Structure 1
């Protein structure tokens, strides 16, 4: 394990996965001194009490990033552009649903420019390990998600930039994220989207948050990029407890 506790910045800390990671990190004081970065002060207040250290601002603002990353050793990037569903008041339309992104929050801005800024400022600040939560499908140019502002294209571009940055990294490509309890399923690891068409293609957000935090604790997780999904209803002995072995075999 690496020397801890470490100052850890979690960006996207008010998001559905980022907030779970932040809460888990606060429960591990021997390992992490977490701080969060999110856009909305109101959302932060609704999720966390005032005892936690938070920065409010945009990942596009390098001044905010420098403040948040000061004296940090670790960075967990949990930011992602979020598509919004166009309203359909009467619910009678037979057309496929349409989505849009808020101005300034498009995938190019968030998943490429914003992540690049995080990586650049992290390097400038002396961060020694970045964990990036990305997505399965990034190697597939024709993936349906790319109809939403080329979101996977920009995620892949950020991954490549991180891998060439010289900073030790762990890149996690989760399958479809579901809001179910973590720690109850076995984990199936793959590479280069080989699991996209597998029988099991989802994973609880809690499990992704756990994988992200465990990545900081083991040297075996560094310089790894992998896909991960979960297999439900497995026996207890198949649930990951030995994270060192998990990352060694990733």
Structure 2
């Protein structure tokens, strides 16, 4: 079944990533101070109002241990890699559950690339109100003519933006939690067919049909049995 295959793929992926991160933290415990993680603690514990310098705890978290160009490149590279690894399984969920009639390949690229772009944008505009307004003006001047085919597709875009924002503020762990909750949530809805009614327009494909096998069977030429040649 496609649903069980997706569940096994997601579980194995998150388990491997978790084990790799755990082993890396055990071998290099001081590396945590130079990684884009821990921003969630600052988000929860930050004061209601910014300090006199206009900075919040989250902004200090992203640059508190970055003192050189090498540290900056390492922090940025890790944040981008974290955003990519977190958004990759989201694309698997879309490719598995989406109805083949309205499947949009361009959305796959958007799910993977958009978090990387948002991560860079957040790093650029933080601590600068002028840059934030400039970015808003630039985004308003650009026309996006591609419209989403369903509100469900908008959820994937929204999650991609959330992953990029989390990585940009140094809270990759938040991006991971959102990715896990999103993927398994969609998997449960797909498996239970929650809200489905007969004759309705489907957003998700039929989870118990292997599309590749069905397509191959439909396109396979019919085998005609040989006829006997009579003398």
> TM-score when scaled to structure 1?
0.24
Structure number with the bigger relative contact order (C-alpha 8 A, sep ≥ 6) is 2
Q: Which has the higher helix share?
A: 2
| Higher gyration radius (CA) | 2
